[in-house]
Amino acid sequence: MENKLSRNQFLKELGFKGASLLAIYCGASTLSSCTNESNTPTGGSVDFTLDLSTSANSGLNTVGNYLITNRIVIARISETTFAAVTQICTHENRAKVIYQKSSGEFYCTEHGARYTTQGVGLNSEGKRGITSYNTELTGTTLRVFS
């Protein structure tokens, strides 16, 4: 009887600690980290800027390059235009979407879903499409927004 009680208490305590750890994880990280496995990886509206004059972002000054920030894949698709989509694939919600320079498409490395630069699905894996975002370059400041 005593053993049973202490086991229950132990489990209760374990459950409590587990819940606490989860809360700390979500609270200390960005919203997108908490919703990695959902269909809305960025948690709603998006609006941020990147300074392309900094070394961290300067890759985007070259056509065909891309970078991933805030769970969003941002690609330079021409001298004057960019494309941005969520990194989370709608096939099985993996954060595996990249930009493929050779095809000019977004591509999921997990099972091969293909998307246009507007996020429209191009094959059966990508048929649900993915969220795309607007981009606007002013000087060296690139704004990404929904």
Which one, 96 or 143, has the nearer CB to ligand FES? 96
Stretch that binds ligand FES, among 20-28, 66-74, 89-97, 128-136 (CB under 6 A): 89-97
Please give the backbone phi and psi of residue 59, each rounded to the nearest 5 degrees, phi first: -55, -30
Rounded Cα–Cα distance for residues 72 and 4 (Å): 50
Minimal distance, residue 125 CB to ligand FES, in Å: 4
Give 136's Cβ-side CA count (13 Å radius).
8
Which one, 89 or 144, has the nearer CB to ligand FES? 89
Contact indicator for 86, 71 with CB cutoff of 8 Å: yes
Q: Which of 46, 72, 108, 144 binds ligand FES (CB under 6 A)?
A: 108
Q: Which of 36, 111, 122, 131 binds ligand FES (CB under 6 A)?
A: 111
Size of the site for ligand FES (CB under 6 A): 11
Q: Does 105 bind ligand FES (CB under 6 A)?
A: no
Q: Which string of DSSP letters, residue by residue, matches 46-76?
A: -EEEEETTSTTTGGGGSTT-EEEETTEEEEE
Q: Does 91 bind ligand FES (CB under 6 A)?
A: yes
Stretch that binds ligand FES, among 25-33, 53-61, 71-79, 84-92 (CB under 6 A): 84-92
Q: Does 114 bind ligand FES (CB under 6 A)?
A: no
B/e letters for 76-105, b = 16+ CB within 10 Å, e = fewer, are bbeeeebbbbbbbbbbeebbbbebeeeeeb
Length of the chain: 146
- Site residues (vs ligand FES, CB under 6 A): 89, 91-92, 94, 96, 108, 110-113, 125
